[in-house]
Structure 1
């Protein structure tokens, strides 16, 4: 009986860790809005994402030197 209870507790812990990893590591949507001021060196692109739930538009900026992307919510 102790083995069965221990098995379910271990499975619950593994499931919880997988959910946390999926949210913070693999799903980058939680930190997509980087701010309101675009840093120097970033160029505006034609890429605009629209959130299907809220309808907010997010414009993508690109730094050609570093390859980094910057996301800014449009009004």
Structure 2
């Protein structure tokens, strides 16, 4: 019985570690397009996201040439 708990416990632990690594290492889409300087070719949109906890506003900029989005924090 100990063997079964150990065997399945190790498999669950490996899956959890893989999920955590995937979350922290590979999911950087949102933070990748953050910054203070707006790159060339980006146009301001009417989209504004407001963080409900801190009240910070984030403005969305759009590049019509390649469809990329850029997020800038506003005060």
TM-score (norm 1): 0.80
User: Unpaired runs of 5+ in structure 1?
Assistant: none
Unaligned runs of 5+ in 2: none
Q: Confirm or deny that 1:40 pairs with 2:25.
A: no
Q: How many residues align?
A: 74
Name the residue aligned to 1:74.
74
What's the C-alpha RMSD, in Å, of the aligned pairs?
A: 2.2
4+ residue stretches of structure 1 with deviation over 4 A?
23-29
Deviates more, 1:12-21 or 1:58-67: 12-21
TM-score normalised per structure 2: 0.80
CA contact (8 A) 2:58 2:74 kept: yes
Change (3 A) 1:50 1:32: farther
